[in-house]
Amino acid sequence: MEQLRVKGKTAAGMLLGLVFACLATTAILLILAFVMLKLQPGTGVMETSILVTYALSCLLGGWYCGRKTERRKFLWGALLGVLYFLLLFLISGMGDRAVQSGLLQSLTALVICAGGGMLGGMLAR
């Protein structure tokens, strides 16, 4: 019975961490859109800013998830980053029939999301 309670707590923490990461992404992207509208930077700056947004969102979500779990916080944070990436991949795939970004960009985003979530889980106490 205790194991079931721990698993439920971990699953709830993971789900809430994912929701927290998505809300953070929304807030950061709104601020970023306003800044980009005013400054009109180049494409490279915009792509880098979006990757930083993913990293920060996964870091915050991993931190929240790590706060809710007692053991292997870095692993749960990394899993949250991977789930976040899969959610992003599914949402971006809905807009186009063919996924526009290449394999290298997708792998880069996956590593950044998993690394950000892992770092957030490690920073949680």
Identify the band that residue 7 occupies on the pLDDT scale cut at 50, 70 and 90.
low
Kindly state the average pLDDT of the residues 24-39: 93
pLDDT digits (tens, 9 = 90+) for 73-121: 889 999 999 999 999 988 887 766 555 557 888 899 999 999 999 999 9
Q: What is the DSSP string of 9-77?
A: HHHHHHHHHHHHHHHHHHHHHHHHHHHHHHH---HHHHHHHHHHHHHHHHHHHHHHHHHH-SS-HHHHH
Q: Evaluate whether 28 touches 56 at the Cβ level (below 8 Å).
A: yes
Query: How many domains would you assign to the chain?
Result: 1
pLDDT digits (tens, 9 = 90+) for 34-85: 999 999 888 889 989 999 999 999 999 999 998 888 788 889 999 999 999 9
